[in-house]
Amino acid sequence: MSEKTSEQNNSALKLLLLGVWALYALIAFCVNHTSEGGTPAAAPAEETAAVTSVSAAETAPQTAAQPAVLRDIYLTFDDGPCKNTPQVLDILDNYGARATFFTVGSFVDRYPEYAADIVNRGNLIACHSYTHDMSKCYASADAFMNELAQWRQAAQNACGELPERLCVRFPGGSTTKHAAAVSEEIKQRIVAEGYQWFDWNAGDNDKWQKGNTDQLPDEEYFMKSYRETIGWFDDEPDTPVVFLFHDTEEGTVRILPAVLQDLIARGYRFKLLDSHPKWG
Ligand SMILES: [Zn+2]
């Protein structure tokens, strides 16, 4: 019996040792599995997530800080529609920007699909006369209003309907010497008809090569002009900026992505002229 008991004790001890070893092996396996399999795989993911969240956290305050200095800009493109207009619309889309297009009625008749695209892609179509011919536009206030009626017909044909608020820009601007004799009467009649007229207070000088005294290449001169004129508003965050471009100028199309990127970084929001404070 004692031998048997001893054998039984021996077996029990062996079983116990085996159990302990098995337990130890299980724990060791789990630890190894976690440290070799789990941790290294998880660590980079966590690091990546941490880096992302750190960089998001670093960017967030800048983005969040922007509303405090948010400013309004009304981008305007004159003299189209033209072959560059679809590309301008693409670039605006890429940056979530919108613009007002002061179109010439005769070009709306020539490129009705581009005019329709301006509207269908969330931009505002506006009136920049029918002929853009100074001698015709400013022959009299009646002549100007007649150009406006012709523009309306062209825009309606191309787009199906007219914008609720019709913005008008004088060819050459309201202070052009060509309009001097009739501009006051034209302004009064525009407003009396429920429309509104707009000049601009900044631009990239894409139609004003006289200012390019250093004979810079177009893109450089336009970009320099952009930086100069936008800089005028650095200390005037409440002044709405109405920025003049011409979609007919290829140099403007080329600098547009850089301009939009810079405006966004400066905290500008892109608005359409039908929401300009001038409407009251
Ligand atoms: Zn023009």
For the chain, which residues make up each domain, given as ranges?
Answer: 1-69, 70-279
Average pLDDT score over the chain: 84
What pLDDT does residue 21 have? 52
pLDDT tens digit string along 86-122?
999 999 999 999 999 999 999 999 999 999 999 999 9
β partners of residue 222: none
CA dist., res. 76 & res. 182, Å (int) = 24
Q: Note the CATH number of domain 70-279.
A: 3.20.20.370
Before 67, cis peptide (omega within 30)?
A: no
Question: What is the distance in A from the centroid of ligand 1 to the CA of 79?
Answer: 5
The average pLDDT across 123-142 equals 98
State the distance from the centre of ligand 1 to the C-alpha of 266, rounded, in angstroms: 28
* 198 DSSP 8-state letter: -
Mean pLDDT for the stretch of residues 131-150: 98
With a cut of 70, say whether residue 188 has pLDDT above it: yes
Assign 19 a pLDDT band (cuts: 50, 70, 90). Answer: low
pLDDT over threshold 90, residue 13: no
Question: What pLDDT is attached to residue 43?
Answer: 33
Per-residue confidence (pLDDT) for residue 7, from 0 to 100: 55
Whole-number Å distance, alpha carbon 214 to ligand 1 midpoint, is 25
Judge contact between 256 and 204, C-beta under 8 A: no
**Distance from Cα 62 to the centre of ligand 1, integer Å:** 38
The yes-or-no verdict on residue 44 having pLDDT over 90 is no
Distance, CA 211 to ligand 1 centroid (Å)? Answer: 18
Q: How far is the CA of 100 from the centre of ligand 1 (A)?
A: 13
Distance, C-alpha 193 to centroid of its chain: 32
Q: Where are the alpha helices (DSSP H) in the chain?
A: 2-32, 39-65, 85-94, 105-110, 112-120, 134-137, 141-159, 183-192, 218-231, 250-265
The span from the CA of 241 to the CA of 270, in Å, is 10
Angstrom distances, CA of residue 117 to CA of 78, 176, 234, 272: 16, 30, 34, 16
Per-residue pLDDT tens digits for 112-121: 999 999 999 9
- The pLDDT tens digits of the residues spanning 236-276 come to 999 999 999 999 999 999 999 999 999 999 999 999 999 99
Rounded CA-CA distance 262/231 in Å is 12
What's this model's pTM, rounded to 2 decimal places?
0.77
Task: Answer yes or no: is pLDDT of 28 > 50.
Answer: no
Rounded to an integer, the average pLDDT of 115-136 is: 98
Q: Find the mean pLDDT for residues 196-206.
A: 98
- The CA distance from 5 to 118, in Å, is 99
pLDDT category, 24, cuts 50, 70, 90?
A: low
The 3 state secondary structure assigned to 203-263 is ECCCCCHHHCCCCCCHHHHHHHHHHHHHHCCCCCCCCCEEEEEECCCHHHHHHHHHHHHHH
pLDDT at 156 over 80: yes
> Ligand 1 centroid vs 152 CA: distance in angstroms?
17
For the cut 70, the answer to whether the pLDDT of residue 216 exceeds it is yes
Q: Does 68 have pLDDT greater than 70?
A: no
Q: If you measure from the C-alpha of residue 174 to the centroid of ligand 1, how many angstroms do you get, rounded to a whole number?
A: 11
Ligand 1 centroid from CA 269, angstroms: 25
Cβ–Cβ < 8 Å for 195, 150: no
Q: How far is CA 54 from each of CA 42, 59, 61, 62, rounded to the nearest angstrom? A: 18, 9, 11, 13
Q: For residue 168, how far is its CA from the centre of ligand 1 (angstroms)?
A: 11
CA contacts within 13 A on the Cβ side of 75: 25
